[in-house]
Structure 1
Amino acid sequence: MNFDMNEAIQVLKSTPGTLTSLLAGLSDNWLHTNEGEETWTPIQVIGHLIEGEKYNWIPRLELIIQQGAAVSFPPFDRYAHLTKESESSLDNKLSEFQKLRMQNLNRLQALVHTEEQLELKGNHPQFGTVKIRELLSTWVVHDLTHMSQILRIMAKRYNQDVGPWIEFLRILK
């Protein structure tokens, strides 16, 4: 097993700043591009990450600690950000994500202190029994997945413009 709480927190802590550095100040053409029908734009990905901070990671962690596997996690609507119309600017979304993430990391560190706690089990509505270690590992990989997704979306905006170099640009394949 490779999971290390301190290393996980390093990635989780860096995600908001990484996304801010990548996206802040970009034109709407970059922020509102997607990969086709039923795919997300970079700004929608940030909305999804915000929803996860509010309703996924820490609420599930708290449920495991408080009730173990006796109660199933409430479902998390992975698409809720698409139905919530927001006039919020990208800067406001990034700021909200940063604030929520810092609060959640503080909560995580207040709740989980030992290796033994990482083995506590909860009940996922789809997967059945899951451990805190798996939940936290998934949180990290979820961040990395969406950062990769944003980069892929942005790269594909120039898919037809790179000409023959497409052969060497794995992100476009």
Structure 2
Amino acid sequence: MVFNMNDAIEILERTPGTLEALLSGLSEGWVYSNEGEGTWNPSEVIGHLVDGEKYNWIPRLKIMLGETDDKRFPAFDRFSHLKDYNHLSIEEKLSEFSSLRKESIKKLKELIVDDKQFVLTGVHPEYGEVEARQLIATWAVHDLTHLSQITRVLAKRYTKEVGPWKSYLGILNK
């Protein structure tokens, strides 16, 4: 399949609303449950998504599209949200994420004006040279990965409670 930015945007636009519908108004037991030590709860995942909007996707795309010869991406701290957003409620994080995502999509549409830009590259600290289309595709799949993670964490809260039906519930057997 050929990369299509509008297809990626369909996912990117829907993620904030999907997360809000899933998490807004849930009790703390749901929002702060996780899969064990070293794993993230749904509230922490939203903090991570906020950081991505601030420091990852659009800033890296701007480097790729910029006029400078230095195309190296700064390192992205995938764990800074664990200390930076603890004081915010899930509702505040969801609102912040939604607002930032709207702005990011607006900037994405402003920055990419020609399909030829999809092959422009940047240098990832771990993967080396990557293309703009790969970054945008990864952004959409990153959203889907965290949606999957959140639903898995929520489901696992009732692993014992479902009793023998666990064998039919694939989300609990991964």
Relative to the length of structure 1, the TM-score reads 0.97
Q: What is the total number of aligned residue pairs between the two structures? A: 173
Match in the other structure for 1:86:
86
Q: Measure, in 2, the Cα distance between the counterparts of 1:50 and 1:164.
A: 38
Task: Map 1:88-167 onto structure 2 (within 5 A).
Answer: 88-167=88-167
Alpha-carbon deviation of 1:87?
Answer: 1.8
Q: 5+ residue gaps in structure 2?
A: none
Structure 1, residues 129-163: CA drift from partner, whole Å, max 9, x if none?
10000000000000000000000000000001111
Partners of 1:67 and 1:42 in 2: CA distance: 38
What is the alpha-carbon root mean square deviation over aligned residues?
1.2
CA displacement at 1:71 relative to structure 2: 2.9
Paired residues of 2:71 and 2:121 also in contact (CA < 8 A):
no
Match of 2:159, SS?
Answer: coil
1:44 maps to 2:47: no
Q: How many percent of aligned residue pairs carry the same amino acid?
A: 51
Q: Which runs of 4+ in 1 moved over 2 A?
A: 67-71
Quote the Cα distance in structure 2 between the aligned partners of 1:8 and 1:15: 11
Does the CA-based 8 Å contact 2:122-2:131 persist in structure 1? yes
- Structure 1: gaps of 5 or more residues: none
| Contact 1:69–1:121 under 8 Å retained in 2 | no
Cα distance in 2 for residues equivalent to 1:134 and 1:68? 20
In the TM superposition, residue 106 of structure 1 has moved relative to its aligned partner by 0.3
Residue type matched to 1:169 in 2? L
The separation in 2 between residues aligned to 1:16 and 1:68, in whole angstroms, is 33
Match of 2:33 in 1: 33
Q: 1:68 to 1:136 in 2, by over 3 A?
A: farther
Residue 69 of structure 1, CA deviation = 6.5
1:90-132 residue CA offsets vs partner (Å, 9 max, x unmatched): 1111110000000000000000011110011111111111000
Distance 1:5 1:150, change over 3 A: same
The alpha carbon displacement at 1:89 in A equals 1.4
Distance of aligned partners of 1:3 and 1:68 in 2 relative to their CA distance in 1, 3 Å threshold: farther
Question: TM-score, normalization: structure 2?
Answer: 0.96
1:85 to partner: Cα distance: 4.7
**3-state SS of the aligned residue for 1:101?**
helix
